[in-house]
Amino acid sequence: MFFGKNRNGNEIQRSALQKAVRKGDVELVERCCKYLTDQDDFTWLKSRLYVMVFEECWGYGYKLNISNDPDLIIQEYKTIAGLVKNRDASALGVLGYELSIGNSSVLQHDSGDSAIRKIAEGIENPEKFWKWIKRRTKTNKQILMIYKAQMGNKKAGWPWDKAMPLAAAYLAVTGKIPQVKSCKIIQTEMPLWVGIDKHTDKGRKAIRTVAKSEGVSSRIALWCSFYFESVISNESQNCYWWNREKEWRFNSLGSSYQEAEEIWKKLKAGVQKLLEAESNNLKNVLGIK
């Protein structure tokens, strides 16, 4: 997941939006959306919604309402922000993508491997994948989910983002679409530095700088910042594929979950300090008092 700059250079606001959705900070979601709309970034905002729903809360995918009305698009982002997150489609998509580029370490020689292989096959041959999916579609929910997932696959730019709708479609026809639930935990104010993370130039620079000063591999530091800060949601369901992705990721980094968590604890304050000025700038840009 990367947030490329458009001609107005909005990568930080784009990144902050996704973190605000994860944390359930509805006010910040609205501010980011309105800023991006005012900056002629509405096309990205609309297309990114397809990606974000399958990445953060795939069970809502069949309900997703895409419109040319900015107010309705903003409302959809706010709705997703207020839901309990489920990252199974995201994680299965990532594992399938990794296998598609030759990384067989994602396989555990168990029943779950067939799902990862199917996503990898879908990346390599989307037409065949969608035909396979549609033959297994039976309910109205599945029909809507597959339609929205296919649109999401087309709208996504990065290959791993394209894999997430494939995974949502696969999960929808091979199991149950999870019930979406409203969050009980309300996040009222997300720290803005969290939105300036590894998916932005300034965030990557800050993380690498602090990692170097602490003698930590920048690769490990960047992933620690993601799993222990950027991706943390205010309320999440326990997800098999998400747990499997995290286990695989830390193993691939030569670390355990506990070791990685300790690494981030050591780096966090330094990263926050380096991003203080940029956080204040973002605050001013978004009109936050």
Task: Indicate the pLDDT class of residue 5, thresholds 50, 70 and 90.
Answer: very low
User: Mind listing the pLDDT tens digit for each residue in 66-122?
Assistant: 999 999 999 999 999 999 999 999 999 999 999 999 999 999 999 999 999 999 999
Q: Select from 152, 184, 189 the least CA-distant residue to 31.
A: 189
| pLDDT at 186 exceeding the cut of 90 | no
| Amino acid identity for residue 257 in this structure | Y
Instruction: Look at residue 85 and give its three-state secondary structure.
Output: strand
Residues with Cβ within 8 Å of 3's Cβ and at least 6 positions away in sequence, in order, are 10, 11, 14, 15, 18, 199, 200
DSSP run (H or E) holding 154:
helix 140-155
Q: Select from 234, 269, 271, 238 the least CA-distant residue to 29.
A: 234
Find out whether 93 and 167 touch, Cβ atoms under 8 Å.
yes
What CA dihedral angle connects 28, 30, 33 and 37, to 10 degrees? -130
Helix H, strand E, coil C: the string for 37-69 is HHCCCHHHHHHHHHHHHHHHEHHHHHHCCCCCC
| pLDDT at 4 exceeding the cut of 90 | no
Cα–Cα distance between 152 and 165 in angstroms, integer? 6
Question: Mean of the pLDDT values across residues 8-20?
Answer: 92
Q: Tell me what percent of the residues of the chain surpass a pLDDT of 70.
A: 96
What confidence score (pLDDT) does residue 30 get?
A: 97
| pLDDT at 6 exceeding the cut of 60 | no
Domain spans of the chain?
Answer: 195-285
User: Mind listing the pLDDT tens digit for each residue in 205-257?
Assistant: 999 999 999 999 999 999 999 999 999 998 999 999 999 999 999 999 999 99
Angle at 129 between CA 124 and CA 135, to 5 degrees: 170
| Amino acid identity for residue 60 in this structure | Y
| pLDDT at 43 exceeding the cut of 50 | yes
| Length in residues, the chain | 289
Tokens of 103: 């990384």
Q: Select from 165, 133, 171 the least CA-distant residue to 152.
A: 165
Task: Indicate the pLDDT class of residue 9, thresholds 50, 70 and 90.
Answer: confident
Residues with Cβ within 8 Å of 234's Cβ and at least 6 positions away in sequence, in order, are 22, 23, 24, 183, 185, 186, 187
Find out whether 99 and 106 touch, Cβ atoms under 8 Å.
yes
What CA dihedral angle connects 97, 117, 246 and 14, to 10 degrees? 30
Cα–Cα distance between 100 and 108 in angstroms, integer? 16
User: Mind listing the pLDDT tens digit for each residue in 50-69?
Assistant: 999 999 999 999 999 999 99
What confidence score (pLDDT) does residue 275 get?
A: 98
Cβ atoms within 10 Å, residue 154: 12
